[in-house]
C-alpha cells in the first residue's frame, strides 16, 4: 500500500512538472520581502549580474500561475486578469503581493522582481508585478518600477505573444 501511495505521489509530481514544462508563461511567487525594500528580488540588480537570469534553471517547484490561470488579456493596458475560480479576492491578492517573483516565457527565465499591491507605498526602481483587486477579480501588470514617470511595461511583446488569444474587448 505504501509503495502504491509513493508511486501515485510520484505520478502527480511528474504531471505537475510536465505541466510547468509545457507552459509558455509561468510566474513563481517566491519568498516574502518582509520589511526590506525588496531589492533582493531583482536578481539582475548589480551590473555584474546582468544576463544571470538567462543562465539560471527554472525553479523545481510548480509555478504559482501560468497562462492557463489567465482569463483575459488587455493588450492596450498590458493587464492580465486571473481566473476567478483560482485567484479571487483579497486573500488571494495577499498571497501574491509583498513577495519576490520570477517570470519565465517559453521555458526561459526573463524577469525577476517584486509583487506589490497597486496601493503599495513602496517605491521601487526595479521590475514590479502590480496586483490589482477589482470586485474580487485579480489583475496583474508588469512594470519596470513602481514610481511615477519612470514606470513602463516590460516584457510586453513576449507576454502579448502568449496571451493574445485571451484578448478582451475594450468597453
pLDDT by residue (tens digit) across 108-139?
Answer: 999 999 999 999 988 888 899 999 999 999 99
pLDDT at residue number 21 = 58
Sign of CA dihedral 86, 89, 90, 93: positive
pLDDT at residue number 46 = 67
Q: Per 3-state DSSP, what percentage of the chain is helix, strand, and coil (rounded to 5)?
A: 35, 30, 35
Q: Are 109 and 44 in contact (CB under 8 A)?
A: no
Q: Which residues, given as ranges, of the chain have pLDDT below 50?
A: 1-20, 169-171
Q: Phi and psi for 116 in degrees, rounded to 5?
A: -130, 155
Residues 6+ apart with CB under 8 A from 166: 67, 70, 71, 72, 73, 80
Domain boundaries, the chain: 24-166
pLDDT at residue number 47 = 67
3-state class (DSSP) for residue 129? strand
Strand partners, 138: 133
pLDDT at residue number 168 = 65
Amino acid at each position: 500500500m505504501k509503495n502504491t501511495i509513493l508511486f501515485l505521489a510520484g505520478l502527480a509530481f511528474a504531471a505537475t512538472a510536465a505541466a510547468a514544462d509545457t507552459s509558455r508563461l509561468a510566474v513563481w511567487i517566491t519568498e516574502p520581502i518582509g520589511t526590506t525594500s525588496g531589492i533582493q528580488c531583482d536578481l539582475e540588480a548589480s551590473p555584474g549580474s546582468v544576463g544571470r537570469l538567462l543562465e539560471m534553471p527554472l525553479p523545481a517547484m510548480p509555478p504559482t500561475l501560468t497562462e492557463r490561470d489567465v482569463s483575459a488579456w488587455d493588450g492596450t493596458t498590458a493587464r492580465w486578469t486571473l481566473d476567478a475560480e483560482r485567484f479571487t479576492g483579497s486573500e488571494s491578492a495577499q498571497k501574491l503581493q509583498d513577495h519576490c517573483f520570477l517570470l519565465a516565457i517559453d521555458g526561459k527565465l526573463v524577469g525577476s522582481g517584486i509583487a506589490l499591491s497597486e496601493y503599495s507605498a513602496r517605491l521601487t526602481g526595479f521590475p514590479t508585478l502590480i496586483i490589482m483587486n477589482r470586485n474580487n477579480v485579480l489583475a496583474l501588470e508588469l512594470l519596470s518600477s513602481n514610481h511615477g514617470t519612470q514606470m513602463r511595461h516590460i516584457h510586453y511583446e513576449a507576454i502579448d505573444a502568449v496571451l493574445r488569444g485571451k484578448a478582451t474587448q475594450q468597453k
